[in-house]
Amino acid sequence: MDEKVIKWGILGTGGIASAFARDLNFAENTEKCAVGSRTKESAEKFAEEHGVARAYGSYEELVADPDVDAIYIATPHPFHKENVLACLRAGKAVLCEKPFTINSGELEEVIQFAREQKLFLMEAMWTRFLPPILKVREWIDSGEIGEVLLVKADFGFRAPWNPEGRLLNPALGGGALLDVGIYPVTFASMILGTKPDKILSTAHIGETGVDEQFSILLSYPAGKAATLNGAFRVDLTNEAYILGTEGHIRIPSFHSAKSAFLYKNGEEAESFNDDRQSAGYAFEIEEVGRCLSQGLLESPVVPLDESLEIMKLMDEIRGQWGLKYPGE
Protein backbone atom coordinates (compact mmCIF):
# COMPACT_ATOMS: atom_id res chain seq x y z
CA MET A 1 0.00 0.00 0.00
CA ASP A 2 1.41 3.38 -1.00
CA GLU A 3 1.60 5.77 1.89
CA LYS A 4 0.13 9.22 1.41
CA VAL A 5 2.17 12.32 2.13
CA ILE A 6 1.25 13.50 5.62
CA LYS A 7 1.06 17.27 5.98
CA TRP A 8 2.24 18.04 9.49
CA GLY A 9 1.35 20.88 11.79
CA ILE A 10 3.51 21.61 14.83
CA LEU A 11 1.82 23.07 17.90
CA GLY A 12 4.45 24.85 19.97
CA THR A 13 7.88 26.26 19.16
CA GLY A 14 10.13 25.09 22.00
CA GLY A 15 13.20 22.89 21.93
CA ILE A 16 11.39 19.59 21.40
CA ALA A 17 9.36 21.14 18.56
CA SER A 18 12.61 22.15 16.86
CA ALA A 19 14.02 18.64 17.23
CA PHE A 20 10.85 17.21 15.73
CA ALA A 21 10.92 19.67 12.83
CA ARG A 22 14.53 18.78 12.06
CA ASP A 23 13.69 15.09 11.99
CA LEU A 24 10.82 15.65 9.59
CA ASN A 25 13.63 16.11 7.04
CA PHE A 26 14.56 12.44 7.49
CA ALA A 27 11.05 10.96 7.50
CA GLU A 28 9.48 9.64 4.33
CA ASN A 29 6.14 10.88 2.98
CA THR A 30 6.00 14.00 5.11
CA GLU A 31 5.56 17.71 4.54
CA LYS A 32 6.11 20.61 6.94
CA CYS A 33 2.79 22.31 6.44
CA ALA A 34 2.30 24.71 9.36
CA VAL A 35 3.38 25.78 12.82
CA GLY A 36 1.35 27.48 15.52
CA SER A 37 2.58 29.49 18.49
CA ARG A 38 1.11 31.89 21.00
CA THR A 39 2.68 34.77 19.07
CA LYS A 40 3.03 35.41 15.35
CA GLU A 41 6.65 36.45 15.85
CA SER A 42 7.61 33.14 17.44
CA ALA A 43 5.79 31.13 14.77
CA GLU A 44 7.41 33.07 11.91
CA LYS A 45 10.88 32.68 13.40
CA PHE A 46 10.34 28.93 13.79
CA ALA A 47 8.94 28.58 10.27
CA GLU A 48 11.89 30.43 8.76
CA GLU A 49 14.42 28.38 10.71
CA HIS A 50 12.88 25.00 9.87
CA GLY A 51 11.37 25.58 6.45
CA VAL A 52 7.73 25.34 7.51
CA ALA A 53 5.30 26.63 4.91
CA ARG A 54 2.86 28.54 7.14
CA ALA A 55 3.17 30.32 10.47
CA TYR A 56 0.22 31.05 12.75
CA GLY A 57 0.15 33.31 15.78
CA SER A 58 -2.34 31.13 17.62
CA TYR A 59 -3.04 27.45 18.13
CA GLU A 60 -6.62 28.01 16.99
CA GLU A 61 -5.47 29.12 13.53
CA LEU A 62 -3.19 26.09 13.23
CA VAL A 63 -5.86 23.51 14.02
CA ALA A 64 -8.27 25.25 11.64
CA ASP A 65 -5.89 24.90 8.66
CA PRO A 66 -7.74 22.54 6.28
CA ASP A 67 -4.51 21.29 4.69
CA VAL A 68 -3.00 19.94 7.92
CA ASP A 69 -3.43 16.16 8.29
CA ALA A 70 -1.66 15.54 11.60
CA ILE A 71 -0.53 17.76 14.46
CA TYR A 72 2.43 17.21 16.77
CA ILE A 73 1.82 18.71 20.21
CA ALA A 74 5.00 20.07 21.77
CA THR A 75 3.68 22.15 24.66
CA PRO A 76 4.33 21.49 28.38
CA HIS A 77 2.26 18.56 29.63
CA PRO A 78 -0.27 20.51 31.75
CA PHE A 79 -1.60 21.87 28.43
CA HIS A 80 -1.69 18.56 26.56
CA LYS A 81 -5.32 17.71 27.34
CA GLU A 82 -6.59 21.08 26.14
CA ASN A 83 -4.36 21.04 23.05
CA VAL A 84 -5.18 17.44 22.08
CA LEU A 85 -8.92 18.03 22.38
CA ALA A 86 -8.69 21.18 20.27
CA CYS A 87 -6.89 19.26 17.53
CA LEU A 88 -9.33 16.35 17.68
CA ARG A 89 -12.33 18.68 17.52
CA ALA A 90 -10.83 20.03 14.31
CA GLY A 91 -10.64 16.50 12.91
CA LYS A 92 -6.85 16.19 13.01
CA ALA A 93 -4.74 13.14 13.73
CA VAL A 94 -2.62 13.80 16.84
CA LEU A 95 0.85 12.83 18.01
CA CYS A 96 1.23 14.19 21.55
CA GLU A 97 4.56 14.58 23.30
CA LYS A 98 5.08 12.51 26.43
CA PRO A 99 3.77 12.39 29.07
CA PHE A 100 0.38 12.29 27.41
CA THR A 101 -1.33 14.31 30.16
CA ILE A 102 -0.85 15.20 33.81
CA ASN A 103 -2.87 12.24 35.10
CA SER A 104 -4.93 9.24 34.02
CA GLY A 105 -8.27 11.03 34.45
CA GLU A 106 -7.29 13.57 31.81
CA LEU A 107 -5.99 10.84 29.52
CA GLU A 108 -9.16 8.77 29.82
CA GLU A 109 -11.16 11.78 28.66
CA VAL A 110 -8.84 12.38 25.71
CA ILE A 111 -8.81 8.73 24.61
CA GLN A 112 -12.59 8.43 24.87
CA PHE A 113 -13.09 11.51 22.69
CA ALA A 114 -10.59 10.30 20.06
CA ARG A 115 -12.33 6.92 19.88
CA GLU A 116 -15.77 8.48 19.68
CA GLN A 117 -14.63 10.71 16.82
CA LYS A 118 -12.70 7.84 15.17
CA LEU A 119 -9.51 9.89 14.97
CA PHE A 120 -5.89 8.78 15.24
CA LEU A 121 -4.14 9.50 18.55
CA MET A 122 -0.71 8.44 19.80
CA GLU A 123 1.74 9.29 22.56
CA ALA A 124 5.10 10.36 21.16
CA MET A 125 7.11 7.61 22.84
CA TRP A 126 9.82 7.74 20.20
CA THR A 127 12.12 5.30 22.00
CA ARG A 128 9.87 2.39 21.03
CA PHE A 129 10.67 2.87 17.33
CA LEU A 130 14.47 3.19 17.49
CA PRO A 131 16.32 0.44 15.56
CA PRO A 132 18.38 -0.70 18.59
CA ILE A 133 15.18 -1.12 20.63
CA LEU A 134 13.61 -3.11 17.80
CA LYS A 135 16.72 -5.34 17.82
CA VAL A 136 16.46 -5.75 21.61
CA ARG A 137 12.85 -6.90 21.30
CA GLU A 138 13.93 -9.32 18.58
CA TRP A 139 16.62 -10.80 20.86
CA ILE A 140 14.10 -11.23 23.67
CA ASP A 141 11.39 -12.73 21.45
CA SER A 142 13.84 -15.25 19.98
CA GLY A 143 14.91 -16.39 23.47
CA GLU A 144 18.49 -15.16 23.27
CA ILE A 145 18.62 -14.37 27.00
CA GLY A 146 16.10 -16.98 28.15
CA GLU A 147 13.36 -15.95 30.50
CA VAL A 148 13.54 -12.27 31.43
CA LEU A 149 13.56 -11.82 35.21
CA LEU A 150 14.97 -8.35 35.90
CA VAL A 151 14.90 -4.93 34.25
CA LYS A 152 17.04 -2.00 35.38
CA ALA A 153 16.76 1.45 33.84
CA ASP A 154 18.00 4.90 34.90
CA PHE A 155 17.53 8.27 33.27
CA GLY A 156 18.61 11.54 34.81
CA PHE A 157 20.78 14.62 34.49
CA ARG A 158 21.77 17.63 36.52
CA ALA A 159 19.72 20.58 35.35
CA PRO A 160 20.49 24.18 36.33
CA TRP A 161 18.45 25.53 39.22
CA ASN A 162 15.45 27.40 37.81
CA PRO A 163 12.38 27.22 40.09
CA GLU A 164 10.25 29.03 37.50
CA GLY A 165 11.26 26.73 34.66
CA ARG A 166 9.38 23.73 33.36
CA LEU A 167 11.32 21.10 35.30
CA LEU A 168 10.83 22.50 38.79
CA ASN A 169 7.59 24.47 38.56
CA PRO A 170 4.48 22.60 39.80
CA ALA A 171 2.24 24.81 37.65
CA LEU A 172 4.07 23.47 34.60
CA GLY A 173 3.85 19.85 35.72
CA GLY A 174 7.43 19.83 36.99
CA GLY A 175 9.07 16.82 38.54
CA ALA A 176 11.44 14.06 37.51
CA LEU A 177 8.81 11.32 37.22
CA LEU A 178 6.70 12.91 34.49
CA ASP A 179 9.58 14.47 32.61
CA VAL A 180 12.38 11.87 32.59
CA GLY A 181 10.87 9.07 34.66
CA ILE A 182 8.39 8.10 31.99
CA TYR A 183 11.30 6.69 29.97
CA PRO A 184 12.32 3.97 32.45
CA VAL A 185 8.68 3.34 33.42
CA THR A 186 7.68 2.85 29.80
CA PHE A 187 10.74 0.71 29.17
CA ALA A 188 9.75 -1.62 32.02
CA SER A 189 6.21 -1.75 30.65
CA MET A 190 7.51 -2.74 27.22
CA ILE A 191 9.48 -5.67 28.67
CA LEU A 192 7.44 -6.84 31.67
CA GLY A 193 3.96 -5.49 31.03
CA THR A 194 1.67 -2.90 32.59
CA LYS A 195 0.42 -4.83 35.61
CA PRO A 196 2.97 -5.09 38.43
CA ASP A 197 1.80 -6.88 41.57
CA LYS A 198 3.48 -4.42 43.88
CA ILE A 199 4.77 -0.86 43.60
CA LEU A 200 7.34 0.53 46.02
CA SER A 201 8.84 3.96 45.55
CA THR A 202 10.64 6.81 47.23
CA ALA A 203 11.33 10.36 46.11
CA HIS A 204 13.07 13.52 47.20
CA ILE A 205 10.53 16.35 47.08
CA GLY A 206 12.49 19.58 46.74
CA GLU A 207 11.73 23.08 47.89
CA THR A 208 9.50 23.85 44.89
CA GLY A 209 7.25 20.93 45.83
CA VAL A 210 8.09 18.52 43.00
CA ASP A 211 10.18 15.35 42.89
CA GLU A 212 13.81 16.03 42.05
CA GLN A 213 14.80 12.36 42.08
CA PHE A 214 13.07 9.03 42.64
CA SER A 215 13.56 5.29 42.86
CA ILE A 216 10.91 2.70 42.00
CA LEU A 217 10.72 -1.05 42.53
CA LEU A 218 8.06 -2.89 40.53
CA SER A 219 7.29 -6.51 41.38
CA TYR A 220 5.63 -8.77 38.77
CA PRO A 221 4.32 -12.34 38.77
CA ALA A 222 6.79 -15.26 38.73
CA GLY A 223 9.46 -13.33 40.60
CA LYS A 224 10.09 -10.73 37.89
CA ALA A 225 11.02 -7.20 38.90
CA ALA A 226 12.09 -3.78 37.63
CA THR A 227 14.26 -1.21 39.40
CA LEU A 228 13.94 2.28 37.97
CA ASN A 229 15.54 5.63 38.82
CA GLY A 230 15.09 9.16 37.56
CA ALA A 231 16.46 12.59 38.45
CA PHE A 232 17.26 16.03 37.16
CA ARG A 233 19.46 17.25 39.98
CA VAL A 234 22.05 14.49 39.57
CA ASP A 235 23.60 12.76 36.57
CA LEU A 236 22.62 9.11 36.20
CA THR A 237 24.12 6.41 33.97
CA ASN A 238 21.11 6.52 31.60
CA GLU A 239 21.63 2.84 30.83
CA ALA A 240 19.12 0.01 30.72
CA TYR A 241 19.72 -3.67 31.44
CA ILE A 242 17.48 -6.64 30.72
CA LEU A 243 18.59 -9.74 32.61
CA GLY A 244 17.43 -13.24 31.78
CA THR A 245 18.19 -16.82 32.68
CA GLU A 246 20.55 -17.28 29.71
CA GLY A 247 22.19 -13.85 29.40
CA HIS A 248 21.55 -10.14 29.49
CA ILE A 249 21.23 -7.05 27.30
CA ARG A 250 22.79 -3.63 27.91
CA ILE A 251 21.51 -0.48 26.21
CA PRO A 252 23.57 2.69 26.71
CA SER A 253 21.55 5.93 26.65
CA PHE A 254 18.50 3.73 26.20
CA HIS A 255 16.01 6.58 25.80
CA SER A 256 17.78 7.69 22.58
CA ALA A 257 19.55 4.39 21.90
CA LYS A 258 22.11 4.11 19.13
CA SER A 259 23.52 0.76 20.23
CA ALA A 260 22.65 -2.40 22.12
CA PHE A 261 24.77 -5.30 23.39
CA LEU A 262 23.86 -8.94 23.96
CA TYR A 263 25.86 -10.94 26.55
CA LYS A 264 26.00 -14.67 27.14
CA ASN A 265 28.15 -16.47 29.70
CA GLY A 266 29.47 -13.10 30.82
CA GLU A 267 30.86 -12.23 27.38
CA GLU A 268 29.60 -10.05 24.57
CA ALA A 269 27.92 -12.30 22.00
CA GLU A 270 26.41 -9.74 19.64
CA SER A 271 26.05 -6.00 19.23
CA PHE A 272 23.88 -3.67 17.20
CA ASN A 273 24.87 -0.15 16.18
CA ASP A 274 22.64 2.41 14.52
CA ASP A 275 24.35 4.93 12.24
CA ARG A 276 21.22 7.03 11.67
CA GLN A 277 21.63 10.68 10.80
CA SER A 278 18.40 11.76 12.46
CA ALA A 279 17.97 12.23 16.19
CA GLY A 280 15.45 9.38 16.08
CA TYR A 281 12.08 11.13 16.01
CA ALA A 282 11.76 10.31 12.30
CA PHE A 283 10.78 6.73 13.15
CA GLU A 284 7.71 7.71 15.18
CA ILE A 285 6.81 10.23 12.47
CA GLU A 286 6.86 7.44 9.89
CA GLU A 287 4.80 5.24 12.23
CA VAL A 288 2.04 7.84 12.22
CA GLY A 289 2.17 7.89 8.43
CA ARG A 290 1.92 4.10 8.25
CA CYS A 291 -1.02 4.03 10.62
CA LEU A 292 -2.90 6.75 8.74
CA SER A 293 -2.25 5.06 5.39
CA GLN A 294 -3.63 1.81 6.79
CA GLY A 295 -6.66 3.45 8.38
CA LEU A 296 -5.53 2.67 11.93
CA LEU A 297 -6.74 4.84 14.82
CA GLU A 298 -3.80 4.00 17.09
CA SER A 299 -0.34 2.51 16.87
CA PRO A 300 0.08 -1.17 17.76
CA VAL A 301 3.55 -0.29 19.08
CA VAL A 302 2.31 2.41 21.49
CA PRO A 303 -1.35 1.47 22.04
CA LEU A 304 -3.59 3.90 23.87
CA ASP A 305 -4.56 1.39 26.56
CA GLU A 306 -0.90 0.90 27.46
CA SER A 307 -0.33 4.67 27.64
CA LEU A 308 -3.32 4.84 30.01
CA GLU A 309 -2.03 2.01 32.23
CA ILE A 310 1.37 3.72 32.44
CA MET A 311 -0.30 6.98 33.44
CA LYS A 312 -2.30 5.15 36.12
CA LEU A 313 0.94 3.64 37.41
CA MET A 314 2.56 7.07 37.63
CA ASP A 315 -0.55 8.40 39.40
CA GLU A 316 -0.15 5.68 42.03
CA ILE A 317 3.55 6.42 42.43
CA ARG A 318 2.90 10.14 42.90
CA GLY A 319 0.17 9.21 45.37
CA GLN A 320 2.76 7.40 47.48
CA TRP A 321 4.70 10.66 47.67
CA GLY A 322 1.67 12.88 48.27
CA LEU A 323 2.53 14.89 45.15
CA LYS A 324 -0.40 16.68 43.51
CA TYR A 325 -0.35 19.35 40.85
CA PRO A 326 -2.43 22.55 40.83
CA GLY A 327 -5.97 21.80 39.74
CA GLU A 328 -5.85 18.07 40.56
328 within some domain: no
Whether residue 287 is found in the same domain as residue 191: no
Closest CA to 271 of 146, 69, 132, 91: 132
pLDDT in tens, the chain (328 residues): 467 899 999 999 999 999 999 999 999 999 999 999 999 999 999 999 999 999 999 999 999 999 999 999 999 999 999 999 999 999 999 999 999 999 999 999 999 999 999 999 999 999 999 999 999 999 999 999 999 999 999 999 999 999 999 999 999 999 999 999 999 999 999 999 999 999 999 999 999 999 999 999 999 999 999 999 999 999 999 999 999 999 999 999 999 999 999 999 889 999 999 999 999 999 999 999 999 999 999 999 999 999 999 999 999 999 999 999 998 8
Whether residue 82 is found in the same domain as residue 143: no
Whether residue 91 is found in the same domain as residue 226: no
* Structural domain count of the chain: 2
192 within some domain: yes
**What CATH number should be reported for the domain holding residue 55?**
3.40.50.720
Q: Write the DSSP string, 160-189.
A: ---TTSTTT-GGGT-SHIIIIIHHHHHHHH
CA gap 247, 263 in Å, rounded: 5
Whether residue 219 is found in the same domain as residue 248: yes
Find the domain containing 235 and state its range. Answer: 131-273+310-321
